[in-house]
């Protein structure tokens, strides 16, 4: 995982400001949002995982704060996530919870978004809006 993270960091343009936010995403977005700023939020499924499996936070609270904040923030926002619900239904309760929460989050985000693009093998499939 460390190698993957390092690869992603090296691919970023030097002028990008990077903020690592493992749990309190709504608070971070509020801090950095501005009408002339584009926020790239990557990766929502990793954030979901962090919130679900950290006993110091409530996923439901963090999720609601994020959705509320996202709807009110100025500027452009680009959200990146992983589709985890197209495979078989996981056997374990923990895996099912992760897949279910991810699906609910994606549905709520799609309702808020002007545009939704599903990428497969580098090819965009527009699900909502125009590319």
Q: Which residues are catalytic?
A: 8
Q: Which region, left, alpha or beta, applies to residue 80 given φ > 0 means left and ψ of -120 to 50 means alpha? A: beta
> Please, what is the angle between helix 25-32 and helix 59-72, to 10°?
20
**Sign of CA pseudo-dihedral 83, 42, 27, 114:** negative
If DSSP codes are grouped into helix, strand and coil, which group holds residue 110? helix
Nearest to residue 52, comparing CAs of 64, 42, 62?
Answer: 62
Alpha carbon 67 to chain centroid distance?
11
């Amino acid at each position: 995982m460390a190698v993957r993270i390092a690869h992603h960091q090296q691919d970023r343009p030097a002028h990008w400001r990077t903020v690592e936010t493992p749990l309190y995403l709504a608070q971070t977005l509020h801090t950095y949002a501005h009408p002339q700023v584009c926020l790239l939020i990557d990766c929502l499924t990793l954030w979901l995982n962090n919130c679900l499996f950290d006993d110091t936070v409530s996923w439901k609270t963090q999720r609601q704060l994020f959705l509320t904040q996202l709807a009110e923030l100025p500027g452009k926002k680009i959200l990146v996530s992983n589709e985890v619900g197209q495979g078989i239904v996981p056997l374990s309760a923990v895996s099912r919870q992760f897949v279910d929460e991810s699906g609910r989050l994606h549905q709520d985000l799609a309702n808020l978004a002007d545009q939704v693009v599903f990428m497969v093998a580098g090819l965009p499939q527009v699900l909502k809006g125009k590319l």
